[in-house]
A and B are shown apart, each in its own frame.
Chain A
Amino acid sequence: MSNIKLESNVPEGPLAEKWTKYRGSMNLVAPNNKRRIDVIVVGTGLAGASAAATLGELGYNVHVFTFHDSPRRAHSIAAQGGINAAKNYQNDGDSVYRLFYDTIKGGDYRSREANVHRLAEASTDIIDQCVAQGVPFAREYGGLLANRSFGGVQVSRTFYARGQTGQQLLIGAYQALSRQVATGKVKLYNRHEMLDLVKVDGKARGIITRNLLTGKLERFAAHCVVLATGGYGNVFYLSTNAMGSNVSAGWRAVRKGALMANPCFTQIHPTCIPVSGEYQSKLTLMSESLRNDGRVWVPKKAEDAAAIREGRMKGNDIAEEDRDYYLERRYPAFGNLVPRDVASRAAKTACDEGNGVAPTGLAVFLDFAAAIERYGKAEAYSLGLGDNVSDAKIRELGEKVVEQKYGNLFEMYEKITGENPYKNPMKIFPAVHYTMGGLWVDYNLETNVSGLFALGEANFSDHGANRLGASALMQGLADGYFVIPYTIGQFLSKEIRTPKIKNDSPEFMAAEKAVQERLDKLLNIKGNQSVESFHRRLGKYMWEYCGMARNAEGLNKGIKLIQALREEFYKDVFIPGAADEYNPELEKATRVADFLELGEVMMRDALNREESCGGHFREEYKTEDGEARRNDEDFTYVAAWEWDEENNINLHKEQLEFNNVELKTRSYK
């Protein structure tokens, strides 16, 4: 076990002034020096593209990598619902402090106060920046920006571009990046996958990549390395993440000494299209914004639920009084807008009690009938149609409003399920969606490996044990546009005399050789089972033992199963093709190999954390009415895991201090 001391490096001073003061007193790198400094950015999602573009604008020589064919394909493109900002344009009492407070509370008091406050501060600049780039946010008739609400909050602070907010924000960042590529300040390497991190004298100085078209391994050197490589939800096999999302960049950093923080904090999103068959490899999210207008329910009577499951009845056939709007019943203050972890667990409970509505028993209804009627009436009124409008007309008008707000989501639902959600309630079920855990970073977003930074979903920093909706886009862009461009200077200002880093030092050559050996080893197993089949089995273990509800017995069992699976993988996996060609199966294999190690660490983390908080629900630790029971006395810390050179998994702790908010039991009742 290494002797690692985790310093958060949070600056002194009152919470609200820390960032401004720190920013004003940081070490700067002069323009003539920036020109001589190389920065590697891995990832071109919101975090990576915004960082690379901004660092290029500042004058650094940026080298940016993505395994995709174009930066615009990063998983961020799929974000639907929106992005938060404390603009208070709605005059509903929002403020930087309130956004900070909601995020800390939503995260169940397991994040760092100072980081979260900085995030809330940056949020308003993000909106300005994106508008200036041409992001076509939704607007009101007066031409000003529109907002909506997301779960876990009582103000309307979410900016959106129909159901395609991630797409529009990513295209904004991609365009800013493209502009820098055109000036030559940023060099873009597409279809290049980072397969290792290179350290020289303890500092991160480069990466080894594989050209995914030719298979060629290459060594890239720089003064520092920034990872913005996204989340690891695909360790569960089935998730709402894009198929290619993976943990390998971060995991390779862990194998070079970085720490994985709170890996078990996984967000299971309550509104996804339920699983329909074994052949599925991906689940589809229905944006949380739908909970603004959709009401969640299951039948009260088990026999009604059974009739729906068997196709003898439809949701609409159930009388109003026979429906259980369980979120509104259990959480009257927040109703359908409780945070995600709470909504997901409640859906699981409803289905465990036998009231699920899909053939598998695993689905609840999300119903828009009431919203359609409400909007239809309002629309009829504003059109001056008077009181004797037919119900059909009201429905028609209401459906139009709903279409304007959520049209593409409804369309997507219909394409996938073949059912019309305007006429029948949607069926939804929770699915893995986001990972709050990630590489441990300090206030500067630097990992414990000097010169290695992590941004966006790849780090653990701001969301504690549960992320609020519309806050990942905010964090990715805050990190990339407004944090790293400053904090990277704290490291680089000490490197201005460091000459160009050479990519043929013994460290680089050894790292390249090790990657080559790893690939050869995998290809030479020549076993009988596909990579996909291993991934699917790993996902089942993760979901079963480290999913929505966890307990010590299951976790202990899960750890053994994963260890055995890993062994089997290295004996019996079959990868067709060769290393020196375009070979997607080989790409999958290296990613699954890393997931097989991460999975075990996640289970160990879940086992270690003997409390329930946010997305981490330990069945042994709950209140009488089934709510999560946190243990602040023993677990107000970040669990940062090391995988050392002898393959031991060791725990390091960063104690969390709360000087500005009082630790309370999270209540949405």
Chain B
Amino acid sequence: MNLQLKIWRQKNAESKGYFETYKVEATEHMSFLEMLDVLNEQLIQEKKEPVVFEHDCREGICGACSMVINGQPHGPMAATTTCQLHMRHFKNGQTITIEPFRAKAFPILKDLSVDRSSFDSIIQSGGYISVNTGQAPDGNSIPIEKDLAGKAFDAATCIGCGACVAACPNGSAMLFTSAKVSHLGLLPQGEVEHKRRVKNMVEQMDKEGFGMCSNTKACEAECPKEISVENIARLNRNYMNSILTGE
């Protein structure tokens, strides 16, 4: 299949970006990133600079890949990261627009690569359970109801890709943050410091320059791991609670 790619090129954080158009020949068995590999190999053969994009596992689990394809973070398929998107979902002759995730808290570094270390800062502000190595009781000492463990697991599957932020008109990180708060807060082990965690993480989110949540649910629609906005509702309740009880 012959494709036309309109790709965002930007030398570094300071410089201005622009779209450049390329032609590439792909097959429908390729993944989206393999198609970009073909383009890059082509560019290198022409002694030009390849397009920088982030990727690592190519299995939809590391959260590195991050691009907006035809206006959608991770492209057109639901519950699919860019690396797991295959070309069979595109048509011969199609023009595809590829841009970086855009959000105030994710500055562009080069081409399609952005800086998402603000997510690490949110986790550092409280996204953990305070237990030192060697302090743990036996793993079976606290039974946890299967469904509850399942719910915590569902929230914990967030891969920290940032598509939720890129999808949100306000650049909010509520889905990401609420997923972590739910994962830890639902478990008995994480309950103890729950209130403090909620407050600190929400405040850190603001400090990092993420926007307010206005319930558009765009985040849920684009999240490759189908993290539910129920987590946001839970976080809102918890946050009110932690303010009201003065902690």
A contact set with B: CB distance below 8 Å: 50, 53-54, 57, 68-73, 75, 77-78, 87, 89, 125, 127-134, 136-145, 161-162, 164, 166-168, 171, 174-176, 178-179, 181-182, 188, 190, 213, 242-244, 276-277, 279-282, 284, 412, 415-416, 418, 481-482, 485, 530, 532-533, 574, 576-577, 581-582, 584-585
Contact = CB atoms under 8 A, between A and B. Distances in A.
A89 B120 CA distance: 36
A244 B34 contact: no
Contact of B117 (A89, A137, A190): A190
Interface in B43-81: 43-45, 47-50, 52, 54-64, 80
Interface in B128-180: 128-140, 142-146, 149-150, 152-153, 156-157, 159-160
B218 interface: no
Interface string B1-43: 0000000000010000000000000010111001001100101
21 contacts: A50-B133, A57-B133, A68-B64, A77-B61, A77-B62, A125-B136, A128-B137, A129-B133, A132-B189, A143-B144, A143-B149, A175-B123, A179-B128, A182-B125, A190-B120, A243-B57, A284-B58, A415-B86, A418-B86, A530-B45, A582-B110
Contact of A178 (B57, B127, B145): B127
Contacts of B128: 133, 175-176, 178-179
B154 to A, nearest CB: 9
A408 to B, nearest CB: 9
Contact of A179 (B119, B124, B136, B138): B124
Contacts of A87: 139
A281 B37 contact: yes
Contacts of A281: 34, 37, 58
Given A72-B160, A139-B149, A167-B157, A53 B59 contact: no
Contact of A412 (B84, B135, B139): B84
A387 to B, nearest CB: 29
Contacts, number: 206
Given A171-B156, A178-B127, A276-B29, 17 more contacts: A54-B132, A73-B57, A89-B140, A128-B138, A129-B136, A131-B139, A140-B146, A144-B143, A164-B61, A167-B157, A176-B128, A188-B120, A279-B30, A412-B84, A418-B86, A532-B41, A582-B12
B149 A482 contact: no
A171 B184 CA distance: 12
Contact of B58 (A53, A89, A282): A282
Interface residues of B, number: 75
Contacts of A190: 117, 120
Interface of B: 12, 27, 29-31, 34, 37-38, 41, 43-45, 47-50, 52, 54-64, 80, 84, 86, 88, 109-110, 113, 115-117, 119-120, 123-125, 127-140, 142-146, 149-150, 152-153, 156-157, 159-160, 183-184, 187, 189-190
A415 B84 contact: yes
